[in-house]
Chains A and B, each alone.
Chain A
Amino acid sequence: MTELFIHSSAFVALNDNHHVQHFTASEFVQSLLSDSVTMFTSLDEVVHAATTIKNQVGEAKEQQFLSLVYSGGIRLLYDSKANLQEIIEMYSSFDQKDYLQVSDVQCVLLMKQYGIKHVMSFNTTINSLGVIVVPKK
């Protein structure tokens, strides 16, 4: 693994001390130090995560999260060539829409566009969209 996409669910798990996956997320991030991994996310994932963090943890944590992302340690992918038609087609073909968000489909298409195969996520339905979800269960 040389590139890793950070999904909004991973941001939320890291930022929320009471999140059921907080410890798993923390352990996984620390294990990355022994690898050479460049981390990416998208503006959409940041916005999505910030909203959830504000609702679940509070505004101070949201502000800290945004500042840290802005500091540049994680590369932001702004430009998506994944168009709405592709997103709709992939989303429509998926049976378990109860668990899948349109934003997850957009995120996977962006990963494919940039050749990123691994995603740090706690949304297991992403697995079925052809990317590798870490940390593995």
Chain B
Amino acid sequence: MRRTQIFLSDDMHDQLKLQARHAGTTTSEHIRQLLSDALTKEKRIQTEQGVRTLLEMMEDPVEETEE
């Protein structure tokens, strides 16, 4: 693991601390879990977008109709 330092708003810090207490974990571990979930979700979205783009390439082009 690497040590890093970031600035949080007071409100954000308080929320994270409270959530961590409710989850029975430390604030650090809680932040790591939130970031891990967010990164996984982002990666998932990127995969789906990429796959969708490639699959759409196999479809026939939509012909423009004149009105």
Please give the residue numbers on chain A whose beta carbons come within 8 Å of chain B beta carbons, in ascending order.
2, 4, 6, 11, 14-15, 17, 22, 26, 29-30, 32-33, 35-39, 60-61, 63-65, 68-69, 71-74
Contact = CB atoms under 8 A, between A and B. Distances in A.
- 9 smallest CB-CB distances across A and B, nearest first, come from A73-B53, A39-B50, A73-B49, A64-B61, A60-B61, A36-B43, A29-B54, A14-B57, A38-B46
Interface of B: 40, 43-44, 46-59, 61-63
Contacts of B59: 64
Contact of A32 (B51, B58, B61, B63): B51
Dominant secondary structure at the B interface: helix
B61 A61 contact: yes
B35 to A, nearest CB: 15
Contact of A74 (B40, B43, B53, B63): B53
B47 A36 contact: yes
